């Protein structure tokens, strides 16, 4: 063999060795890659594999599968055909493979589905299965809390200007960052922090949260608006309750009562005036009625005398 031939063999060997090294490094780097994915409770989650497939390998030559962090298989495609035998029962009927995007769709996502998933792709060649691609997906699951609702625990008494309020929100995940009251008056807005009480459903793992507050205010306080604020995790979007207003309604009620008294007083005054006028007019009318006049009396006496004279003449 000529030195030129030996050099060519050495170059070819070095090239092949370098190629294999690059392949292993690429595989390790791709295996270390992780994509964060997010899904909502009872909705569909996506677990991407992002296989570049630069060689345009047919699915008939590939073996690919997804497994969770406990090594339970979600889906397997063996040489172009689905293989449900290796799929764990909790995932059967809950997945589908999108060939265009190399993504596994996971349906009806539950809180328990959060965690790390791995996608593995092997190429079946003349010497058997060869690792071709690996990708990790970190799936987080969210559930939107209901709009917070403020409720009055006990009614305000006559001798007390303190009201007890509670605010609650349900069916959310993960545990919220913060929950507090915001009190807005005509002149200021004040934040009232409170201890957040929480409970978690043993089956769904969803949270219910609540806070309470005793609020003291001046008897003549008006236009006070109390809101409950929930700050979920990980989003920074605040969820506000409908405002709970105090002061306005009691004042309106008092004003309506005063108006009612004014109406009654006015009606009584009108009635008294009308009765007085009727009595006055009645008295005036009686005074104006004429009594028997002197002329009438004389005329009657004259008639009586004439009748008496006629009677005497006849006798």
Q: Which residues contact 62 (CB under 8 A, 6 or more apart)?
A: 77, 79, 80, 121, 122, 123, 124, 132
Domain extent for 114 = 33-142
195, 220, 252: which is the final residue of a domain? 252
**What is the full per-residue pLDDT of the chain (315 aa) written as tens digits?**
444 444 333 343 333 333 333 333 334 444 445 899 999 999 999 999 999 999 999 999 999 999 999 999 999 999 999 999 999 999 999 999 999 999 999 999 999 999 999 999 999 988 899 999 999 999 999 999 999 999 998 766 555 678 899 999 999 999 999 999 999 988 899 999 999 999 999 999 999 999 999 988 776 667 899 999 999 987 778 999 999 998 654 444 555 566 778 888 888 889 888 888 888 778 777 776 665 545 544 555 556 666 666 665 665
Residue 184 sits in the same domain as residue 243? yes
Residue 161 sits in the same domain as residue 126? no
| C-alpha to C-alpha distance for 82 and 92, rounded to whole angstroms | 12
Residue 241 included in any domain: yes
Query: What is the predicted pLDDT for the residue at 259?
Result: 72
Query: What is the predicted pLDDT for the residue at 84?
Result: 95
Query: What is the predicted pLDDT for the residue at 4?
Result: 40
Residue 220 sits in the same domain as residue 125? no
Residue 71 included in any domain: yes
């Amino acid at each position: 063999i000529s030195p030129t031939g030996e050099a060519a063999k050495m170059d070819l060997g070095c090239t092949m060795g370098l190629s294999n090294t690059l392949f292993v490094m690429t595989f390790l780097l791709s295996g270390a890659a992780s994509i964060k994915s997010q899904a909502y409770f009872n909705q569909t989650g996506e677990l991407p594999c992002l296989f570049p497939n630069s060689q345009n390998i047919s699915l008939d030559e590939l073996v690919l599968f997804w497994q969770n962090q406990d090594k339970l298989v979600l889906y397997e495609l063996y040489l172009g055909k689905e293989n449900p035998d290796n799929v764990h029962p909790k995932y059967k009927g809950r997945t589908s493979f999108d060939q265009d995007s190399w993504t596994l769709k996971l349906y009806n996502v539950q809180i328990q589905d959060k965690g790390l998933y791995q996608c593995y792709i092997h190429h079946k060649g003349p010497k058997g299965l060869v690792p071709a691609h690996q990708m990790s997906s970190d799936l987080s699951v969210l559930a939107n809390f209901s709009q917070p609702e403020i409720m009055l625990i006990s009614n305000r008494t006559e001798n007390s200007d303190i009201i007890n309020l509670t605010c609650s929100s349900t069916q959310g995940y993960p545990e919220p960052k913060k929950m507090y009251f915001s009190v807005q008056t005509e002149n200021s807005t004040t934040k009232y922090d409170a201890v957040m009480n929480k409970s978690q459903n043993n089956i769904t793992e969803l949270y219910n949260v609540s806070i309470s507050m005793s609020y003291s205010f001046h008897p003549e306080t008006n236009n006070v608006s109390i809101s409950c604020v929930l700050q979920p995790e990980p989003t920074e979007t605040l969820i506000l309750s409908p405002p709970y207003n105090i002061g306005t309604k009691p004042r309106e009620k008092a004003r309506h009562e005063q108006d009612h008294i004014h109406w009654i007083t006015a009606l009584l005054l009108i009635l008294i005036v009308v009765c007085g006028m009727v009595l006055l007019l009645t008295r005036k009318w009686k005074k104006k009625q004429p009594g028997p006049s002197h002329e009438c009396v004389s005329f009657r006496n004259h008639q009586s005398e004439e009748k008496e004279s006629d009677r005497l003449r006849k006798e």
